[in-house]
Amino acid sequence: MAKRCPQRVDHDVMATHHASVRTLSANQPRTSQVIDMDTQEITVRRTSVNLLDAEALDDIWKCYQRFATRGRESFDRGLRSADEMFLFHHVEHDELKGFTALKVLETYTDDAAEYVLYSYYADLVPELRGLNLLQGLVLRRCLELKLQRPGQRGYLMFTASTPTSYLWLTRNLYKYWPHRERTTPQHVTHLMKDVMARLDIDGWMPEKGVVRRHGTVRYHGEDRDALTDESTKLDIAFYHQLNPGADEGDSLPCICPLSFANAMHLVRNMAARAVRKVAPKQ
């Protein structure tokens, strides 16, 4: 495995219309965890994006190509905008099976300081889905940020490029936006627009609330079981209503509070998923 050690870097403060946003600076320790899952042994490694070497970047690119077709330059630009990554390696074969690329932003509003955990990428090969890897990662980062920023409101934000990505919210959390039965609060709408503008996401169209790709990105490897599940039909229809260009690679910005209620809802769903995983099939 390539040797990598994490490190955080500061970024400039930039004012936006409703809030100012900057990258949090924090020295992160090198962490590595081995997880046994059935016959697979997976190492979860935390590292800094700015210290990834060319070989590691090539491995990440090859892994990403399992999930989408897009230009390498566009992919690298998004990857290098992140601060840290979590890499999921198969121990025996030293093969990258998935990754996330994250950035923590601090925002200032009229009444309080807040922070946003923004995910540029979060991809896992099909055989690792349903094992609570991404859910556990979100829970861990939520706890870390709560300890680092006591008393501040926090959010997780990402762009859902497929119905399956959007269903991650509906299947795991209690409160999130956009929601087909709840209006997005004005404050949250402003926050999302400010973050998208600050990150200078290619194709962001604030008047439509989507990221337009114009066919330059094609996603594949969808969870067919989730898409055909009767319980997900209304949420999938709502997603396509808000993001009618999904088949052209368009993405829908989504956000959820890193709250105690969401954390407890996430834990309950993780536990139920784990029970279903080991329960004998009828």
pLDDT given for residue 230 in this prediction = 75
pLDDT given for residue 20 in this prediction = 34
Could you please report the per-residue DSSP string of 141-209?
Answer: HHHHHHHHSTT-EEEEEEEE-SHHHHHHHHHH-SS-BSBTTBPPPHHHHHHHHHHHHHHT-TTEETTTT
Mean pLDDT by 10 residues, the chain (282 residues): 34 29 39 47 87 93 93 92 92 87 87 90 86 88 92 94 93 95 94 94 93 89 64 92 94 96 92 76 55
C-alpha span between 69 and 232 (Å, rounded):
26
Class of residue 184 by CB neighbours under 10 A (exposed 0-12, middle 13-18, buried 19+) = middle
pLDDT given for residue 25 in this prediction = 37
Q: What residues are paired with 123 via a beta bridge?
A: 99
What pTM did the predictor assign? 0.82
pLDDT given for residue 34 in this prediction = 47
pLDDT given for residue 36 in this prediction = 43
C-alpha span between 193 and 208 (Å, rounded):
11
pLDDT given for residue 110 in this prediction = 66
Q: Per residue in 3-31, pLDDT tens?
A: 333 332 222 222 223 333 333 433 343 45
pLDDT given for residue 93 in this prediction = 76
pLDDT given for residue 238 in this prediction = 96
pLDDT given for residue 195 in this prediction = 95
CA–CA–CA angle 138, 224, 175 (5° rounding): 35
Can you list the domains of the chain with their CATH numbers?
Answer: 14-278 (3.40.630.30)
pLDDT given for residue 6 in this prediction = 33
pLDDT given for residue 220 in this prediction = 80
Greatest distance between any 2 Cα atoms in the chain = 57
SS3 26: coil
pLDDT given for residue 199 in this prediction = 93
